[in-house]
Amino acid sequence: MTQTDPAQPFRLAVAQLAPAFIDRAAGVAQIVEAIETAAAQSAQMIVFPEALLPAYPFWLSEGHGARFDDPRGKALFAHYSDQSVTIEDGHLEPVCTALRKASMSAYVGIIERPRDRSGHSLYCSYVFIDARGEVRSVHRKLQPTFEERLVWSPGDGAGLVTHRVGPFTAGGLNCWENWMPLSRAALYAQGEDLHIACWPGNRRNTEDLTPVLAKEGRSYVVSVCGVMRREDVRDDAPFADYLREAVGDMPANGGSCVCAPDGTFLMEPWVGETGVRVVELDPAKVREERHNFDPAGHYSRPDVTRLVVDRTRQSIAEFTSEGRS
């Protein structure tokens, strides 16, 4: 079987993991281990949850994260920022190397601290890395949800792109972005037939929406989730006792699942455990379901409704030097 053989099922690995809580180095090692596990199962692509590296900020909801100028909140944000991912500094290089070695592509959920936006604001980003180990796109979450806005910044459309992976055209969105019809339409318009929906984790987020998105897009839809338990707060985390109390017993119970283009489950939502599971995807199933409905093809009416997408990477300044000595 080859990466691009359309006659063979495509093997996709779903990594439902608990974070190495706010520890970037340990988190990178965990992701590399999952890649190696998937490679041993002959996977051609692996997908990871939202914000896995270094962690989702579970403490905000129950930990009084909205208190303005709170010393503990500021100290936690400083640590969270320090352990977040600056791609330009090579923080994902071990992941890229592992994928290159395995000839495997991946979507990886990170908290990004990019230098092109001051180097201090944080973005919930979904990163696509191809089978050559090259970062091909970084999608910054367009709209952080509710309390997430206390620590994450709103992204832009630069990452609303798709990628050819084997016989499929893959795209990915973060969490409640998957409820945004126009964001989904932007990916449909680029031929998406394998949709990756990443979540911090909960069955309630995935069991109803995943089949709906599969039927709407007539695509394979993968919901990949994390798990978070009180004991996943590391002893060396700042304010560890406070974080354990704020996090509670299990704020994220998993719920990863996979639906076929007709909306049936290939992988039922699984909860309360971590691991790497592999499913086989048959591209012929997409073609079968597109026979009667293709949202960006024969069933679209671009003469009546069209979508305009600005994929400019946002910046606070534009510098010009033409004509100056």
Contact 267, 207 (CB under 8 A): no
In whole angstroms, give the CA distance from residue 107 to residue 94. 15
Catalytic site includes residue 141: yes
**Do 132 and 164 form a contact (C-beta atoms < 8 A)?**
no
Sheet containing strand 45-47, edge to edge, reads 135-140, 123-129, 105-112, 45-47, 10-16, 275-281
Place of tokens 């709103």: 154
Active-site residue identified among 96, 124, 175, 198? 175
SS3 call for 223: strand
CA proximity to 250, closest of 292, 204, 289: 204
Catalytic residue among 50, 112, 148, 177: 50
Mind giving me the DSSP string for 132-156?
TS-EEEEEE-SS--GGGGGT-----
198 belongs to the catalytic site: no
Q: Which of 96, 112, 124, 141 is catalytic?
A: 141
Which token pair is 313? 């990477």
Tokens representing 11 are: 């093997």
d(CA 3, CA 89): 30
Dihedral angle at the C-alpha atoms of 77, 78, 84, 89, nearest 10 degrees?
150
Q: Which amino acid is at 157?
A: G
| DSSP calls for 69-102 | T-HHHHHHHHHHHHTSB-GGGTTTHHHHHHHHHH
Catalytic center residues = 50, 141, 175
